[in-house]
Amino acid sequence: MKIRKLKIFCLNLLLACFIGLSAFASNGEKVTVEIDFGSGNHPKLKIETNWKEGLSALEALQFVAEVKTHPVGQYVFVDEIDGVKGEPNQSVWYYKINGAPAKKIAIDQPLESGDKITWIYKQDVCSPKEGE
């Protein structure tokens, strides 16, 4: 009896996951995530992922790449994308939305269907320098 209940529970859980994923993927709307690793050994990537209402720039990145982040107060910063780690005062990760520099941190940046998010590993111009 316990095994039957467990099977039914597992099937219901799988069905709920499938329905949730189908609802997420069925609208056909997409966003494009581009990743420019700079002058390293990684080729540039360009990947489409499904869009849904409320999708953030950080979530879209997490759907297409391995991402490491760290919190600072109420903010969440991207430290590493697919093994390429940012180094403060050297090179770090920045992003653009449809070619324009982002005005918000990625976790707070909502996307619209059709948006193109470009992540770029480049010279850090935001971190405080020693002695500042």
Residues 115-126 pLDDT 10s: 999 999 999 887
Q: Please state the three-class secondary structure of the chain as a single string.
A: CHHHHHHHHHHHHHHHHHHHHHHHHCCCCEEEEEEECCCCCCCCEEEEEECCCCCEHHHHHHHHCCEEEEEECCEEEEEEECCEECCCCCEEEEEEECCEECCCCHHHCECCCCCEEEEEEEECCCCCCCCC
Calculate the dihedral angle through the C-alpha atoms of 110, 73, 119, 83, rounding to the nearest 10 degrees. -130
Q: What is the mean pLDDT of the chain?
A: 82
Q: Which domains does the chain have, with CATH numbers?
A: 29-123 (2.170.130.30)
Residues 53-98 pLDDT 10s: 999 999 999 999 999 999 989 889 999 999 999 998 899 999 999 9
pTM, rounded to two decimals: 0.75
- Residue 26: predicted pLDDT: 46
